Amino acid sequence: MNKVTIYSTSTCHFCHMAKDFFTSKGIVYEDFNVSTDSEKRKEMVEKSGQMGVPVIEIGDKMIVGFNKPKIMELLGIKE
């Protein structure tokens, strides 16, 4: 399985939706709260060119926002 990383904030509704989705599917992920971790915020912006969250990395692919169909595709999950 590809490594899953999410850059999020504690107040982001779509971040919570993404993490709830990963949890419901048994997907282990690494979460970085970019509202409190300035180094990870800088890393996220450098990688994605975006300030908005969530930014989700699955393997070497990046998704900005909670794009469930794309996440499922990259993780090989069937509905």
CB distance 69 to 56 below 8 Å:
no
CATH number at residue 12: 3.40.30.10
Range of the domain at 45: 4-75
Spatial strand order of the sheet with 61-64 comes to 30-33, 4-8, 55-58, 61-64
Tally of domains in the chain? 1
pLDDT per residue as tens digits for the range 18-39? 999 999 999 999 999 999 999 9
Nearest Cα to Cα of residue 43 among 6, 13, 4: 6
Residue 79 has pLDDT above 80, yes or no: no
pLDDT per residue as tens digits for the range 8-17? 999 999 999 9
